[in-house]
Chains A and B, each alone.
Chain A
Amino acid sequence: METKIGIFLCNCGEAIRNIDFAATKEEVAQIPGVSCVNLSSNLCLKEGKEKMISCIKEENIEKVVVAACSPEFKEHIFRQVLEDAGLNGHLFSTANIREQCSWVHDGDVTGKAVELIKMAVNRARLLQPVEKKKFAVNREVLVVGGGFAAINAALQLSRVGLRTTLLEREAILGSETAELGSLCGFDISSMMSEVEGDENIEILTSAEVTAAAGKIGDFTVRIRKGGDEASHKYGAVVLATGYQTKLALESELKSDVNIVSQKKLCRMLENPNLEIRPRTIGFMFDFSDENSRLPTLATLNNALAAKQKWDSEIYVFCKSLKVDGPGAEKLYREARDCGVVFLKCEARPRITAGNGRVKIEAKDVFLGEDTILACDLLVAEELLLPSEGTEALSSLLNIRRDSRGFYQDENVHLYPVASEKKGIFFVGGCRGDLDLSRVLTDVSSVVVSVYELLSSGNILAEVERVKVDPQKCVACLTCIRVCPHDAIQLVRVDGGKEVAEVFDLACDACGICAAMCPAKAITFQGYRDEEILAQVETIEES
Chain B
Amino acid sequence: MNSCIVAFCCEHSAYPAADLAGKLKLHCPESLRIIRVPCAGRVDVIHILKAFENGAVAVLVLGCEDGACHHITGNTRAKERVKYCNMLLKEIEADGRHVAMFNLSPNEPHKFVRAVNEITKRIKESGR
How many of A's residues come within 8 Å of B, CB to CB?
Answer: 47
Is A536 touching B41 in the complex (CB atoms < 8 A)? Answer: no
A72-B11, A72-B15, A411-B72 known; A103-B22 Cβ under 8 A: yes
Q: How far is the CA of A539 from the CA of B73 in the complex (A)?
A: 30
Is B21 touching A536 in the complex (CB atoms < 8 A)? Answer: no
> Which residues 25-40 in B have Cβ within 8 Å of A in the complex?
25-28, 30, 33-39
Is B70 touching A512 in the complex (CB atoms < 8 A)? Answer: no
Q: A514 to chain B: which residues have CB within 8 Å? A: 42
Nearest A residue to B112, CB-CB: A104
Is B69 touching A411 in the complex (CB atoms < 8 A)? Answer: yes
Q: How far is the CA of A335 from the CA of B15 in the complex (A)?
A: 49
Is A420 touching B37 in the complex (CB atoms < 8 A)? Answer: no
Q: Is A187 an interface residue (CB 8 A)?
A: no
Is B39 touching A511 in the complex (CB atoms < 8 A)? Answer: yes
Is B72 touching A527 in the complex (CB atoms < 8 A)? Answer: no
A70-B19, A105-B30, A536-B50 known; A511-B2 Cβ under 8 A: no
Nearest B residue to A408, CB-CB: B72
Is A512 touching B27 in the complex (CB atoms < 8 A)? Answer: no
How many of B's residues come within 8 Å of A, CB to CB?
Answer: 49
Q: B50 to chain A: which residues have CB within 8 Å? A: 533, 536-537
A511-B39, A514-B42 known; A540-B23 Cβ under 8 A: no
Is B73 touching A482 in the complex (CB atoms < 8 A)? Answer: yes
Is B23 touching A103 in the complex (CB atoms < 8 A)? Answer: yes
Is A98 touching B22 in the complex (CB atoms < 8 A)? Answer: yes
B residues near A (Cβ < 8 Å) are: 2, 4, 6, 11-13, 15-16, 18-23, 25-28, 30, 33-39, 41-44, 46-47, 50-51, 54-56, 64, 67-74, 77, 81, 105
| Extra pairs beyond A104-B28, A484-B73 (11, CB < 8 Å) | A103-B22, A104-B25, A411-B72, A413-B64, A484-B72, A484-B74, A508-B71, A515-B41, A516-B77, A529-B47, A533-B46
Can you name 22 A-B residue pairings with CB atoms under 8 Å?
A70-B22, A71-B36, A72-B11, A96-B34, A99-B19, A100-B19, A103-B25, A104-B21, A104-B25, A411-B70, A413-B69, A484-B71, A484-B74, A509-B38, A510-B42, A512-B77, A514-B42, A527-B42, A532-B42, A536-B50, A539-B55, A542-B4
**Minimum-distance CB pairs A-B, first 9:** A99-B22, A511-B42, A103-B22, A484-B72, A510-B71, A512-B41, A413-B70, A540-B54, A510-B39
A residues near B (Cβ < 8 Å) are: 70-72, 96, 98-106, 109, 112, 115-116, 119, 400, 410-414, 420, 482, 484-485, 508-512, 514-516, 524, 527, 529, 532-533, 535-537, 539-540, 542
